[in-house]
Structure 1
Amino acid sequence: MIISFASSKGGVGKSTTCACIAAELALTGSRVLLIDLDQNKTLARWARKAPIDGLTVLPIESKEFGEFFRKQSAAGNYDHICIDLPGTREATMFKVLARSDLVIIPAQASEPDLREALVVVSDIRDVREETQRPIPYRLLLTKVFPLRSRVTDFAYQEMERHGLPMFRTALVERSAYREMFLNGQPPTQGEAGKGAGAEVQALLAEIQAVIGGDADTLRIAS
């Protein structure tokens, strides 16, 4: 499967989520290619700290994406490809969206983040029309406060008002997500079966259900 992580706004946890999912896929026995298109190359630096068997992380310039992706797809060396898109809105994003089996749109529970998420959703719909290809997408709330707040309630209400599909799993603000970039250890190793580790495993299960067609219409959790 090809999963892309998209946001035209920085600081929403896009690269963190991409790294967590790619790492967990590899840890469960899959061959995974993570394409780092983000201009900061955060994931390329992360991968060098604690390499994971089965996970290949390659930083690629946006202008090289088309040819690189064709070669990797034709070679068939990987079970899954995860793509960390640039944190800006550019032409490469449309190329990635057109090739994705699922687009994950991370966003914090804030009005600016949700506004930017809607921009990405609009772009996905445009690509759908051009390619005549279904492109599933889901919003993912990140950096959520452990206790439900008025800000979180606002986010859920706005997504419901716009009819946006979202994951039931949300990523809570936890130190494990920050520490992984210091020690290279993904949350499912550092907090196996609990906290951030349990969140990542639950999110991956939802991803596999969406791509597998078992959960085409996930409802917003109350």
Structure 2
Amino acid sequence: MPTVVIASPKGGAGKSTAAILLGTELAHAGANVVMLDCDPNRSLTLWADRGPLPARISVLSNVAESDIVKTIKQHDTDGQIVIVDLEGVASRLVSRAISQADLVITPMRATTLDATIGIRALQLIAEEEEALDRKIQHAVVFTMTKAIRSKQHSGISSSLAAQGVDLIDPPLMERSAFSALFEFGGNLRSMPAQGNMDGAIENAAQFAQAVYKRLTGEV
């Protein structure tokens, strides 16, 4: 089954939030999900420790550079999806994880700074593709977006699309429920209501469906 790597050299881009939303929504849909916490900030572990893990999800912490490839291969079994949350730097660990990916997702906020730094993740992917002599599917998802798209957001989207970058639609909106996952743990359906929960659940579910379509070749 597939391995999804969440990678961005920009801290605060929403990597862990995207990983948790993807993992919990896929698990809710019936998939078995293993989440690897490779970020020194241990955001996935913090979320996992806040409350009971949702059904069909397991979290492995402290996965180091020397263990990452072996760990991915060990859990990349039939009926199971591996999601890797990486550190926010360009490192050997990041490169090794990308080398094992079926899909790399780069979260970025729709700002010039995030886009400029986030492009470095795409360069890392290109380097791994050259080293491995194979294509690595990758896509960008905008995070913490507003209901009304700014001119800056539209300009960055157009620029990336013109470069042939795959943009996941819908983007992940700025929602209190998403950030509250790190306070309450669990998933959007088990946590206390935070703002517009129906909207948050719909956004997360559509994001997971868009990722799943890429994994199955529908996109």
Same fold (TM over 0.5): yes
Q: CA deviation at 1:187?
A: 2.6
Structure 1 residue 48 and structure 2 residue 52: aligned? no
Q: CA deviation at 1:178?
A: 1.0
On the 8 A contact 2:34/2:75 being kept in 1, the answer is no
Cα distance between partner residues in 1 of 2:102 and 2:133: 14
Q: CA deviation at 1:111?
A: 0.9
Q: Which residue of 2 aligns with 1:140?
A: 141
- Could you report, residue by residue, the CA deviation over 1:29-70 in whole angstroms, capped at 9, with x for unpaired residues? 222110000110011111122211211011124233233334
Q: CA deviation at 1:154?
A: 2.2
- Decide which of 189, 211, 215 is 2:215's aligned counterpart: 211
Q: Which segment is superposed worse, 82-91 or 109-118? A: 109-118
Cα distance between partner residues in 1 of 2:32 and 2:58: 8
The CA RMSD measured in Å over matched residues stands at 1.9
Go from structure 1 to structure 2 and tell me whether the alpha carbon gap of 1:67 and 1:212 turns closer, same or farther (over 3 Å shift). closer
Consecutive unaligned residues in structure 1, runs of 5 or more: 216-222
On the 8 A contact 1:7/1:106 being kept in 2, the answer is yes
On the 8 A contact 2:69/2:96 being kept in 1, the answer is yes
TM-score normalised to the size of structure 2?
A: 0.90
On the 8 A contact 1:188/1:196 being kept in 2, the answer is no
Consecutive unaligned residues in structure 2, runs of 5 or more: none
On the 8 A contact 1:35/1:59 being kept in 2, the answer is yes
Structure 1 residue 196 and structure 2 residue 189: aligned? no
One-letter amino acid of the counterpart of residue 156, structure 2: A
Q: CA deviation at 1:23?
A: 1.2
One-letter amino acid of the counterpart of residue 85, structure 1: L
Q: Which residue of 1 aligns with 2:90?
A: 89
What does 1:46-195 correspond to in 2, within 5 Å? Answer: 46-50=47-51, 51-63=53-65, 64-73=67-76, 76=77, 79-189=80-190, 194-195=198-199
Cα distance between partner residues in 2 of 1:157 and 1:77: 38
Kindly, what percent of the aligned residue pairs are identical? 23
TM-score normalised to the size of structure 1?
A: 0.89
Secondary structure of 1:62's counterpart equals coil
On the 8 A contact 1:2/1:99 being kept in 2, the answer is yes
Cα distance between partner residues in 2 of 1:194 and 1:90: 38
Q: CA deviation at 1:153?
A: 1.7
Cα distance between partner residues in 2 of 1:188 and 1:106: 23
Secondary structure of 1:145's counterpart equals coil
On the 8 A contact 1:169/1:199 being kept in 2, the answer is yes
Secondary structure of 1:88's counterpart equals coil
Q: Which segment is superposed worse, 83-92 or 146-155? A: 146-155
Q: CA deviation at 1:77?
A: 7.5
Q: Which runs of 4+ in 1 moved over 6 A?
A: none
User: How many pairs does the alignment contain?
Assistant: 213
On the 8 A contact 2:3/2:101 being kept in 1, the answer is yes
Secondary structure of 1:57's counterpart equals strand
Go from structure 1 to structure 2 and tell me whether the alpha carbon gap of 1:56 and 1:77 turns closer, same or farther (over 3 Å shift). farther
One-letter amino acid of the counterpart of residue 210, structure 1: R
One-letter amino acid of the counterpart of residue 66, structure 1: V
